[in-house]
């Protein structure tokens, strides 16, 4: 018996919604709600809890991919399994769905059996909840460095089918037995042949669990004619995308136009020329073969993406264990206090370096989530002035060779409660560290780098250094991989800084004073309202 699930089916075509609901009912899934587009689906999701969403991709108002991204960005719904139905063949669009957190992909046309498989796979690959890191005795930024404690299991679908694929299926539909006999002999041995002598039987074969790959459909038949068969096929998910070649004695433009509106890919005029028919069907079957491989290709893309995520999670986990141990050893040596000042300074530098590596390991995951729209902010009050001073203190030691003067200033008096920012500690620390590092690298030797914190809503931090951003890169300063003249520069520091700020509803900008030869980096972050 099927698992009891609350399922939401989203499709802008009413017939498709009802047919999918019927397929689910036949599989034993009785609790099914229907939505006409992504906007209606989102309102329903906000009101009622669902175990699974099955959505078409292309819809008005709000597309399936936009609905998926909204779900993955919501703390309440981020874990909800999501099956995307698509007829898309563009690899980039499928990669977008995978990176947005789709649970499974269902390629049109699909059958009830394939739908059952997709549901099983989606429910087995729910979005994993991150587990909190084990508590360690490490100063900030370690206070906000979550880790995914992951037990990695081998993905079940990372393999290609080794069985020899069956030849495509060709359905021949004609009310005359002699015509069926001629057509069957033309394609005998090339394809698997199915035949139907009326429209009702043809429709049943097309809408069944093993639809044909191509239909040669007579138009003029008693009862249900070929045009009606085609119209009803377009209303069923199993047959919606099955290509049709009309075989007809009709030659007028109106008949051809009607056939094209129903999705016909070609017209063959009676009497049939077997040689020409064979060539035209063979040519189109090459396209059909490509379409038949889409589901397997998408399944493998999804499996490989999950494997990559598992490997990255395992790598992060394996890196953080030794780092945490090394940090603990260094901190125990610092606490022992039985060494001279120079030794203590070196140990603190080692501690800060290891904290930065730990921060980078955590940050790599968060940046990926931000770039793909899957990041969920858990904001908390932050002592931004303390964090800014720690970043500057670390930079002062790192860039001691340049003999820079680094200082922190504020616009509030000593003794006044420092303002609090509202954001994520790890992201904010990395944001400030990137910008201070960028300013120190750009500043000439024996100059000043000043970071000033201004109260208000939002909070504002201005980082001023001597030297100006080169004119050619000013318009692209925050773009990815943009750098100029820095040895070993990656062009990721300012790019990631802006991403980190925007993920916290803040912003990063810059101002250049060519006359004074200074650059000012300006950070704005939400502030915690002062107590009443």
> Is residue 234 located within the same domain as residue 279?
yes
491 vs 267, more confident: 267
Q: How many domains does the chain have?
A: 4
- The mean pLDDT value for 82-110 works out to 81
Domain that holds residue 425: 377-525
Q: pTM of the predicted model, to two decimals?
A: 0.45
Say what percent of the chain tops pLDDT 70.
Answer: 80
Residues 409, 517 within the same domain: yes
Q: What are 476's two structure tokens?
A: 């692209």
Task: Please provide residue 52's backbone torsions phi and psi, each rounded to the nearest 5 degrees.
Answer: -160, 140
- Residue 24 CA to residue 50 CA, distance in Å, equals 15
CATH number at residue 228: 3.40.50.2300
234 within 8 A of 258, measured Cβ to Cβ? no
Residue 72 DSSP class: H
**Residue 276, domain member (yes or no):** yes
Contact 340, 347 (CB under 8 A): no
Query: For strand 420-423 and strand 459-466, is the pairing parallel, antiparallel, or unpaired?
Result: unpaired
Q: 82-86 and 104-107: which strand pairing? A: parallel
Q: Please give the residue that has the higher pLDDT: either 477 or 93.
A: 477
Q: Do residue 178 and residue 92 come from a single domain?
A: no
Query: What is the pLDDT confidence band of residue 74, given thresholds at 50, 70 and 90?
Result: confident
Residues 390 and 414 in one domain: yes
Condensed to tens digits (0 to 9), the pLDDT of residues 386-399 reads 999 989 988 888 88
Where in 191-327 does DSSP place strands (E)?
A: 192-196, 214-218, 244-248, 264-269
Pick from 247, 275, 103, 280: nearest CA to 185: 275
What φ, ψ does residue 263 adopt, rounded to 5°? 90, 20
Same domain, 398 and 506: yes
382 lies in the same domain as 510? yes
Same domain? For 387 and 515 the reply is: yes
Task: List the CATH number of the domain containing 462.
Answer: 3.30.565.10
Does residue 297 belong to any structural domain of this protein? no
Distance, in Å, from the CA atom of 500 to the CA atom of 426, rounded to the nearest integer, reads 10
Contact 245, 266 (CB under 8 A): yes
Contacts of 522 (CB under 8 A, 6+ apart): 460, 461, 462, 508, 509, 510, 511
Does some domain include residue 177?
yes
pLDDT tens digits, residue range 255-312? 777 777 777 778 887 888 888 888 888 887 877 776 666 666 677 767 666 655 555 5
CB 500 within 8 A of CB 428: yes
In this prediction, residues 111-124 reach a mean pLDDT of: 85
Q: Are residues 440 and 457 in the same domain?
A: yes
Q: Which region, left, alpha or beta, applies to residue 101 given φ > 0 means left and ψ of -120 to 50 means alpha?
A: left
Provide the 8-state DSSP code for 141: T
* 106 and 185 together in one domain: no
The residue ranges of DSSP E strands in 155-310, in sequence order, are 169-173, 192-196, 214-218, 244-248, 264-269
Cβ atoms within 10 Å, residue 298: 23
């Amino acid at each position: 018996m099927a698992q009891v699930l609350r399922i939401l089916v989203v499709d802008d075509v009413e017939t498709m919604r009802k047919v999918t609901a019927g397929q689910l009912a036949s599989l034993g899934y009785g609790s099914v709600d229907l939505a006409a587009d992504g906007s209606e689906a989102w309102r329903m999701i906000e009101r009622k809890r669902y175990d699974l969403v099955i959505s078409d991709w292309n819809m008005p108002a709000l597309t399936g991919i936009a609905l998926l991204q909204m779900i993955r960005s919501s703390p309440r719904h981020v874990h909800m399994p999501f099956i995307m139905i698509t007829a898309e063949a563009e690899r980039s669009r499928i990669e977008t769905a995978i990176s947005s957190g789709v649970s499974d992909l269902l390629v049109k046309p699909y059958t009830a059996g394939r739908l059952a498989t997709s549901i099983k796979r989606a429910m087995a690959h729910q979005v994993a909840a991150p587990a909190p890191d084990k508590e360690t005795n490490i100063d900030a930024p370690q206070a906000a460095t979550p880790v995914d404690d992951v037990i990695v299991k081998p993905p079940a679908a990372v393999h290609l089918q080794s069985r020899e694929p069956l030849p495509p299926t060709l359905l021949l539909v004609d009310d005359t037995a002699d015509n069926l006999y001629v057509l069957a002999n033309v394609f005998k041995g090339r394809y698997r042949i199915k035949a139907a002598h009326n429209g009702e039987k043809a429709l049943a074969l097309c809408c069944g669990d093993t639809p044909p790959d191509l239909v040669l459909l007579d138009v003029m038949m008693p009862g249900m004619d070929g045009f009606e068969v085609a119209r009803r096929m377009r209303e069923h998910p199993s047959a919606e995308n099955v290509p049709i070649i009309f075989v007809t004695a009709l030659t007028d433009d109106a008949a051809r136009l009607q056939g094209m509106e129903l999705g016909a890919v070609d017209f063959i005029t009676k009497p049939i020329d077997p040689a020409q028919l064979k060539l035209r069907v063979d040519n189109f079957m090459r396209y059909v073969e490509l379409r038949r491989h889409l589901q397997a290709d998408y399944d493998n893309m999804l499996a490989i993406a999950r494997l990559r995520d598992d490997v990255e999670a395992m790598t992060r986990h394996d890196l953080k264990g030794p780092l945490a141990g090394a940090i603990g050893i260094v901190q125990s040596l610092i606490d022992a206090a039985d060494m001279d000042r120079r030794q203590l300074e070196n140990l603190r530098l080692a501690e800060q370096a290891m904290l930065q590596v730990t921060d980078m390991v955590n940050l790599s995951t968060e940046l990926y989530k931000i770039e793909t729209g899957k990041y969920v902010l858990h904001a908390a009050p932050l002592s931004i002035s303390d964090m800014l001073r720690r970043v500057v203190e670390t930079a002062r030691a790192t860039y001691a060779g340049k003999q820079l003067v680094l200082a922190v200033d504020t616009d509030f008096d000593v003794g006044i409660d420092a303002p609090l920012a509202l954001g994520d500690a790890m992201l904010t620390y990395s944001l400030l560290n990137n910008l201070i590092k960028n300013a120190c690298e750009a500043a000439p030797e024996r100059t000043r780098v000043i970071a000033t914190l201004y109260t208000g809503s939002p909070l504002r931090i201005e980082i001023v250094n001597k030297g100006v951003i080169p004119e050619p890169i000013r318009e692209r300063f925050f773009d990815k991989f943009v750098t100029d003249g820095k040895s070993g520069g990656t062009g990721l520091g300012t790019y990631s800084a802006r991403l980190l700020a925007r993920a916290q509803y803040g912003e990063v900008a810059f101002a250049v004073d060519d006359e004074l030869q200074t650059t000012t980096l300006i950070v704005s972050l939400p502030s915690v309202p002062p107590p009443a």
